[in-house]
Amino acid sequence: MHIAEITKRAGRGKRRKRVGRGEASGLGKTSGRGNKGAGQRAGWRQRGLQEGGQMPMFRRIPKRGFSNAKFAVRYSVVNVEALEATFPPNTHVTAQALREAGLIRSLSCPVKVLGDGTLTKKLIVDAAKFSKSAAEKIQKAGGEVRVSA
């Protein structure tokens, strides 16, 4: 038999485990839960960080310093080449226009324009931030750079 001879549907779904259907099934009586203890009872779940009496990893490792991750500003990034490919000349490019064109995922993050690629069209671009090269390319093409809050 060759792998090419197996149909697409073969082995697609594993049958569910039918527990508590008599001793002969192999999953009768305790239904695979073992004897006694919380694990046998309904509603019990093991916590992911539980290490069975050993000091948990997050308590063994020293905690020092400060992390800015919670406060860091994340930007939706768009390159100049994407603006060139997407928008016709003399277009006002805003975050909303970028969202509708599918260049950014959501309007929750501010937009930053980066200078990767070339720009030959005159565009008016509204964004929270611009790299130096992006601003130069937009202005060189006769466009306008507007920093919006």
pLDDT by residue, tens only, the chain of 149 residues: 777 777 767 767 778 899 999 999 999 999 999 999 888 989 888 878 888 889 989 899 999 999 999 999 999 999 999 999 999 999 999 999 999 999 999 999 999 999 999 999 999 999 999 999 999 999 999 999 999 86
Residues 60 and 107 in one domain: no
Residues 41 and 81 in one domain: no
- Give 48-77 pLDDT, tens digit per residue: 888 888 998 989 999 999 999 999 999 999
Residues 96 and 129 in one domain: yes
Structural domain boundaries enclosing 93:
76-147
Of the candidates 108, 144, 105, the one whose C-alpha atom is nearest the C-alpha of residue 126 is: 144
Q: Which of 34, 64, 94 is the last residue of a domain?
A: 64
Of the candidates 39, 120, 37, 34, the one whose C-alpha atom is nearest the C-alpha of residue 84 is: 120
**DSSP state, 43?**
T
